[in-house]
Structure 1
């Protein structure tokens, strides 16, 4: 992974990401619903006690803050550390770091929110964190297994690692036509990597298909969400024409639109107690 290139692409897309990243925003909402439902059933936690369960939270890959705002509204922690590879994202979550960002329940203190730029794969998260969480980020990591181990050490003994990422069918149209794309891990493999240090409480996946009027609209969508972070080839006129012709031939739906596939994976895992 060229982390510098990834950061540059997301920095350029930060003003259009919130508008264009429809799937990622849906994933963020579903991630929180899954997390709370799992805790209600597995630990018999009541909604009014969520903030006591998660006093200290780390979100890696916070981006423009769509999931961050859901975290604050729903869980109302004492501290929330927002991390992103792209330093420019601080301006997108700046209002969350102000004391009046999110009103809290009567009698409770305000959440302390701060931003920490850098590569989550090499940063040291605070010890005794109650929840390490993220949406649509882990697919950019070089070594998820090593990252899971670091989360195991940073989390409290009953801490939760909750994340969404993308699976092997994600944007398969782009990979087939360009020969280029991320090496997505299947859900089963992610669970295997987690197993030494976590008990997986929940894992699920889904396929989401978006429709676009033209292949050029697909490329514009990808550029405006910043997910072209590993593509280095130049789009010449000839390459673009061939790409569009093949996209229309292979991926046109019954309505005459072209499709783009997203493959979200959701995992909730509980830190294993030290032996």
Structure 2
């Protein structure tokens, strides 16, 4: 992963992300619901990695009311988006790659929405989370599965290597008891392929794509998108594949 490029793309999209990231907002709301249903709400010390513009952060603060909430993001510019939250007692922002972050010891909850797919080594990250969590601490996150944006990867040959739910479970099981594992498919409709590309740009999830969009490439992309992924009304869709994981620390 080119973490610098990822940070730059999300920094450029920070003003439009909250408006465009409709699926990510739905995922954050469902993550909060599942977390309170499956793991309760008694979390005094929370770390959120990949806080972005703060959609999930606001839910964590208002629903769980922790004593301490550390908001972390790879992109330092996200501090602008969560500065209001950081006025609340116990809330602070730390810009750093979460894969290198020294978590506060005895954290009750390490959580995130729509971030883990950008990691180089999720397995090692899970080990570090286990070490940082307090006894019976919880790791709860959403990420995306193999069907995520499959239209884009098929037409461009470029996309992330998403881990399937079963592999995530396998990586977690030596260190955590799985409380909940779920996946779903969400199809987001658009009028044209150009609108799909604009949506991706305004959410920052173009991520590591480095190719230049020439006029010819754009035309070919749009023609094929319509041919392969349009419905009877001429609209096109973009697939999201959210995965939700909630796990409690094992004593090993």
TM-score (norm 1): 0.91
Deviation at 1:254, TM superposition (A): 2.5
2:57 maps to 1:79: no
Q: 2:200 — aligned with what? A: 222
Q: 1:63 — aligned with what? A: 52
CA contact (8 A) 2:165 2:181 kept: yes
Q: 2:35 — aligned with what? A: 35
Deviation at 1:158, TM superposition (A): 0.4
Please tell me the root mean square deviation across aligned C-alpha atoms, in Å.
Answer: 0.7
Q: 2:123 — aligned with what? A: 145
Structure 1 runs (4+) greater than 6 angstroms displaced: none
Which structure has the larger Rg?
1
SS at match of 2:232: coil
Q: Deviations over 1:127-169 (max 9, x none)?
A: 1000000000000000000000000000001000000000000
2:7 maps to 1:18: no
What CA distance in whole angstroms lies between the structure 1 residues aligned with 2:80 and 2:236? Answer: 35
What CA distance in whole angstroms lies between the structure 2 residues aligned with 1:244 and 1:97? Answer: 43
Q: List aligned pairs for 1:61-210, cutoff 5 A.
A: 61-99=50-88, 111-210=89-188
Q: Deviations over 1:209-252 (max 9, x none)?
A: 01100000000000000000110000000000000000000000
Q: 1:7 — aligned with what? A: 7
Q: 2:220 — aligned with what? A: 242
What CA distance in whole angstroms lies between the structure 2 residues aligned with 1:144 and 1:37? Answer: 25
Unaligned runs of 5+ in 1: 41-49, 100-110
CA contact (8 A) 2:13 2:204 kept: yes
CA contact (8 A) 2:104 2:132 kept: yes
Deviation at 1:39, TM superposition (A): 2.4
TM-score (norm 2): 0.99
